[in-house]
A and B are shown apart, each in its own frame.
Chain A
Amino acid sequence: MAEIRLEGVAHSYDGGKTYALNPITMTWKDGKAYALLGPSGCGKTTLLNIISGLLKPSEGKVFIDGKDVTDVITDDRNIAQVFQFPVLYDTMSVRKNLEFPLKNRKVPREKVAQRVNEIAELLGIEKELDIKPSKLRSDLQQIVSLGRGLVREDVSAILFDEPLTVIDQNFKWTLRNRLKRLHIATGVTVVYVTHDQTEALTFADEVLVMDQGSLVQSGTPEELFLEPKHEFVGYFIGSPGMNFLEVDAKESVLTHKGKAIGKASKAGLNGSHRFGVRPEFLVPANKSGIEFQVDRVEDRGVFKLVHLSKDDQKVIAKVDEGYQVKVGTKAAFSFDPKRAFVFDSNKKVISTVSPSQGGN
C-alpha cells in the first residue's frame, strides 16, 4: 500500500518531437480507487506504464511513498499490473500461472496455495485451475490474467489497463463488482484505465479524464457530471454528451445568431465563446425559453431523447417519458442556471449561465 506521486512526468516516444504524455503533476492517494478515463491514444497506457516502471518517463520524477523510484526497475517497485488482453504462460496450468508471481518472490508454499485458492474462488475459476490456459475461452483467459495481477498481497498498487475489454457484457458487471469489493477489502491503491465511462464512474472514487496526453479534469463522478471544467469532460462524460452552441457575448449577455440565450455570471464577458449544457438540464419550458425545431424524438422507455435544431446547430434534450411533442413543430426549452456553462477558446469553463427571462 502506498502513495504514488508524479512530478512533472512527461513522455515522448520520438525523442521530443511529439509528446504522448504532457507534463503531469499529481498524487494518487493511498488506498483509493482511481479511474483513468479517456479515448484511445490519449496517453492512459503510457501513464500507467510509467507508474509501473515498464517505461521510464522522458521527463519528471515518480515517487512511491516519498521515495524517488524513477530509475527503479518494475520488479523492485512492487506493483501489479493487468493488461488489456490475456497474457499467460502457455506451458503452465492456470494454477501455475497464478502461483508464478508469488513463487518468483519466494513466498512460502502454504501461503501460495492459500492465496491461489482465494483468488480462484473470488474470480470463479476454481474448476479451471488444472487446465492449460490455451484450452480456455478468451474471457476466462483474461480472468486468469486478472488473477495473476491480484494474487500478490503486499503490492503498493494494482494497475488495470482496460482489463475487461474482452469480457462478456453481463459478466463484466459481476467482475467489476468483485474487483470493487476486493479493493474495499484490501485497501490497496487501484488505478483503473478505461475508455468506458460507465466502468470508470461505477468503479472509482476519483475519475481522471485525459485527452490528447493531458489530464483535463479529475474529480468524483458527480463533479465530472455536474461541473465539467473542460469541454472534453462535458462531451466525453454522459450519454449523450453535452450540447454546444456557438455564442457571442456582449457585456455578459449571450446571443446566438442575434437571439438572446442567457446571461453569464461572470461580469464583462465579451467575444465569441461556446455555450454548453447537458441534455439532462435542457428542460421543456413555456414560451419564455429558447425556441427549437423538433427533428426527431427517440423513446428510450424511461426517458425520451428529443433531437432539436436551431439554425444549423443541433442539440439533444433528455426529457421525461411523459413529455409530448410533435416532430416538425417548434418547442421552447430552458436550462438549469447552475448547469449551463461558457467555455473559452482553450475549452475551459469561464462562467455559468442563467437563462434570459422572457427573451426570444
Chain B
Amino acid sequence: MDGKKKNNRAWFLVAPVVFVVAFTAIIPLMAVANYSLQDIQGFNSRLFVGLDFFKMVATDPNIQDAFTRNLLLSGQILLIQIPLGIFIARLMPRSGWKASAALVIVAIPLIIPWNVIGTTWQIFTRTDIGLGGVIVNQFVEYNLSESPLDAWVTILVMDTWHWTPLVALLVYAGLRSIPQAYYQAAAIDGASAMAVFRFVELPKLKRVLMIAILLRFMDSFMMFTEPFVVTGGGPGSSTQTLSILLTTIAIGQFDIGVAGAFSLMYFLFIQIFSFIFFTVLTLDERPGATKVTKKSKEDAISKPKKELRTKAKKVSK
C-alpha cells in the first residue's frame, strides 16, 4: 500500500441491486430460515428447535424417495433432451425464410404457459377422449392414472416436448456462431461428417451446452406445474417430484417448520450442484490452470522467439 486512502464510493453504485435483491430473495429466504429453526404452534407460542427439522427432512423416507425419483427424472431428461436438441439444431436451415420459419415453429412450446401445457396434456392423454391416449391404446395398454410406468413416460415425453426446443435454440445459436473457415478447413483436411461434429462443432458448443445442461437440470429438478396438473404426482407417489412433495407438506399439512428446512436444503442442493458442475467444466479455462501450462510454454519457446514475442504485439496487420 502506498498510504493513499482508497476511494471505495463506487460500491454505492451496487446499492440499488442489493436493495432489490434483498426484497426479492434474501428477506423471503430469511423468513423461511426463521420458520425452519423454530416450531411455531400459535401466535405467541414458539419453540427454538435448532436443526431438528433439518434432521427430520434428511431422514424422512418420503423425501428421500422423492429426491431419488427427481434425480432420476432429471438425469433421464438430460440424457434425452441434450442429444435430441443438438440433433434438431443441426437439422434446422441455416438461412433464409426457412430458418425464420423453423425458429418460430421450434419455439412454440416455449411460449405456452406451463399450466396450459399441463392441461393440454391431461386432455391429450385421456384414454376416452384424448387423441394421444386413444391412439397409444390401439397398440399398447395405456393408462396413466393406473400404471406408474405410463405416468412416468408421459411426464418424460411432455417435458421433452416442452423443453427440448430450448436446448435446440441454444445449440442453433452456438452452431451459427462457428466461423465458416472451420468447416472449410475440415473439408480440406478430408474430415468425415462425424469428425466435423466431433472435432469442430462439439468443442465450439461446449459453453452453450454447459448452459443448456445447467438450465435443464435446474428446471427439471424444480419441476412442479406440469406433473401436478397431469398426474397430481400419482399414481401413488410414482411421479411425485420434490416440488410437489414440498407443496403438500407446506400447504396440505401446513408443516411450516419442516417445509422451511426442506426448502433451504432443496435450494442449497441445486446451488451446490450447479456450482460444482460449472466449476468442473470450466476448470481448464481458469487462470490457475493456465499458469502451469504458461510456464511449460515459456520453457518451450526458444530465445529468439521470445524476442519476437515482444515485437509481435506491435504487429498491426
Measuring CB to CB, which residues of chain A are less than 8 angstroms from any residue of chain B? 49, 52-54, 73-75, 79-81, 83, 85, 87, 89-92, 100-101, 104-105, 124, 127-128, 131-132, 135-137, 139, 145, 148-149, 165-171
Decide yes or no whether B101 CB sits under 8 A from chain A.
Answer: no
Look across to chain B and name the residue whose beta carbon is closest to the beta carbon of A96: B199
Chain B residues within an 8 Å CB radius of A169: 311, 315
Stretch of B20-28, B164-172, B177-185 that contacts chain A: B177-185
- Assess whether B190 is in contact with A105, with CB atoms less than 8 Å apart: yes
B296, chain A: closest CB distance, angstroms: 7
Bound complex: CA A139 to CA B310 (Å): 12
A-B contact pairs, 16 of them (CB 8 A): A81-B185, A81-B188, A87-B179, A87-B181, A87-B185, A89-B203, A91-B199, A104-B191, A104-B192, A135-B297, A136-B297, A137-B312, A139-B312, A145-B185, A167-B315, A170-B311
Chain B residues within an 8 Å CB radius of A101: 188-190
Also in contact, A54 and B312, with CB within 8 A (given A87-B181, A104-B192, A128-B300): no
Stretch of B46-54, B237-245, B301-309 that contacts chain A: B301-309
- Assess whether A83 is in contact with B189, with CB atoms less than 8 Å apart: no
Bound complex: CA A316 to CA B300 (Å): 49
Docked complex: B142-191 residues within 8 A CB-CB of A: 179, 181-182, 184-185, 187-191
Also in contact, A104 and B297, with CB within 8 A (given A87-B181, A137-B309): no
Chain A residues within an 8 Å CB radius of B308: 139, 168, 170-171
Bound complex: CA A141 to CA B302 (Å): 16
Chain B residues within an 8 Å CB radius of A90: 203-204
Chain A residues within an 8 Å CB radius of B317: 165
- Assess whether A131 is in contact with B188, with CB atoms less than 8 Å apart: no
B284, chain A: closest CB distance, angstroms: 8
Nearest 6 Cβ contacts at the A-B interface: A104-B190, A127-B300, A101-B189, A87-B185, A74-B187, A168-B312
- Assess whether A75 is in contact with B315, with CB atoms less than 8 Å apart: no
Decide yes or no whether B195 CB sits under 8 A from chain A.
Answer: yes
- Assess whether B188 is in contact with A74, with CB atoms less than 8 Å apart: yes
- Assess whether A83 is in contact with B296, with CB atoms less than 8 Å apart: no
Pick the contact of A148: B181, B189, B290, B297 (CB < 8 A).
Answer: B189
Decide yes or no whether B138 CB sits under 8 A from chain A.
Answer: no
Bound complex: CA A131 to CA B179 (Å): 23
- Assess whether A80 is in contact with B315, with CB atoms less than 8 Å apart: no
Decide yes or no whether B8 CB sits under 8 A from chain A.
Answer: no
Decide yes or no whether B222 CB sits under 8 A from chain A.
Answer: no
Chain B residues within an 8 Å CB radius of A91: 199, 202-203
Interface centre among A89, A135, A170 (most CB of B within 10 A): A89
Chain A residues within an 8 Å CB radius of B189: 100-101, 104, 148
B295, chain A: closest CB distance, angstroms: 11
Bound complex: CA A91 to CA B309 (Å): 25
Chain B residues within an 8 Å CB radius of A79: 188
Pick the contact of B195: A85, A104, A127, A167 (CB < 8 A).
Answer: A104
